[in-house]
Amino acid sequence: MRASSPRPLAPLMTGVSLVFLADCGSPSDSGRGVDAARSATGSSAVPVVASTNVYGDMVQQVGGGKAEVTSIISDPDQDPHSYEADTLNRLALSKAKVVIENGGGYDDFMDRMLGSGDSSAEVINAVEVSGKTAPAGGELNEHVWYDFPTAARLADRIAAALARADPDAAATFTENAKDFKEKLKPLEQKETRIRTAHGGEAVAVTEPVPLYMIEAGGLENATPAAFSEAIEEGDDVSPRTLQETLALFTDREVRALVFNEQTSGPQTEKVRQAAKAAGIPVVPVTETLPEGKDYLGWMTANADALASALDK
């Protein structure tokens, strides 16, 4: 999602709001808890700032009640590419012991804040942890939270960083990370089942957001690169590229359309309508956590929706 997304950006909720967690270690609570900003932990909890609620949820699941999490981006109308940090964001960062950002150009506002020298926190960069690089002649797909091996590595890095900030709780962080990684395994198994049943089949996307899941499922992305790149950059798609994309559906060359709901606009709506008219399933995805979901539940729903669409 880029700065010129057709949907107006909602202003960031001001303040660091208090989130009530009945059990900070439970996935259902963490999905609600990091959305707004801060978990209601004690003053001894490790203060952590995450660029988005996706990473905030991961920290909450690894840290449990011993991590006090501020997620800067939690509203689906907020665009990390164009977001400008405010005074409250900088205040939270100045108090943080651990910071987690996506990197790869996705949330540059974090680097701008960190570059001011106001924070001495340990910084975890998800793209760097992933080890992923841009393909030859192409661009890096920075949406690494859709890659489950990366999520597993992040859990370990988060646990290690929290342990350095709170050595007495190191065993708790390690155990929570282990539990999180165990819960990722069924997700990888879902991708394996997709690959076994549908490997080599073609799908279309409106943006590269879900491509790591699509690739892990052995699926081929048939979308013209010029289309998905223009949508991601917030640019207009050329008439020729749009027609090439629409032909994927009228000619029934793809089994499904994976549609980023957070950047819906006139051109992506034309694509969605073309898929619907051709009877091709549309799989909606988002970039940030939906309300009431945690990372594991969210990704489970995404994988299940993709499998269901392909099975039709």
- Residue of 217, 211, 312, 198 whose CA lies nearest to 260: 211
Helices and strands, counts by H and E, the chain: 12, 10
Determine the distance from the C-alpha atom of residue 260 to the mean position of all C-alpha atoms in its chain, rounded to a whole number: 12
The rounded distance, in Å, linking the Cα atoms of 68 and 86 is 20
Instruction: Write down the domain spans for the chain.
Output: 18-184, 188-311
pTM: 0.85
pLDDT number for residue 264:
78
Of 7, 143, 20, residue with least CA distance to 75: 7
Q: What is the pLDDT along the chain (312 residues), one digit of tens a residue?
A: 543 333 333 333 333 333 333 333 333 333 333 333 344 444 589 999 999 999 999 999 999 999 999 999 988 777 787 788 889 999 999 999 999 999 999 999 999 999 887 788 999 999 999 999 998 888 899 999 999 999 999 999 999 999 999 999 999 999 999 999 999 999 999 999 999 999 999 999 999 999 999 999 999 999 999 999 999 888 999 999 999 999 999 999 999 999 998 877 899 999 999 999 999 999 999 999 988 899 999 999 999 999 999 999
User: What are the residues facing 243 on neighbouring strands?
Assistant: none
Beta pairing partners, 88: none
Same fold, 18-184 and 188-311: yes
First to last CA, the chain: 29
Dist CA 59 CA 154 (whole Å): 9
- Confidence (pLDDT) at 43: 58
- pLDDT at position 138, please? 84
Domain 18-184 superfamily per CATH: Nitrogenase molybdenum iron protein domain (3.40.50.1980)
For 188-311, give the CATH class.
alpha beta
Which two three-digit tokens encode residue 196? Answer: 């076994």
285: part of which helix (H) or strand (E)?
strand 282-285
Phi-psi region of 193 (alpha: psi -120 to 50; beta: other; left: phi over 0): alpha
pLDDT at 162: 98
CA angle 157, 60, 19 (to 5 degrees): 155
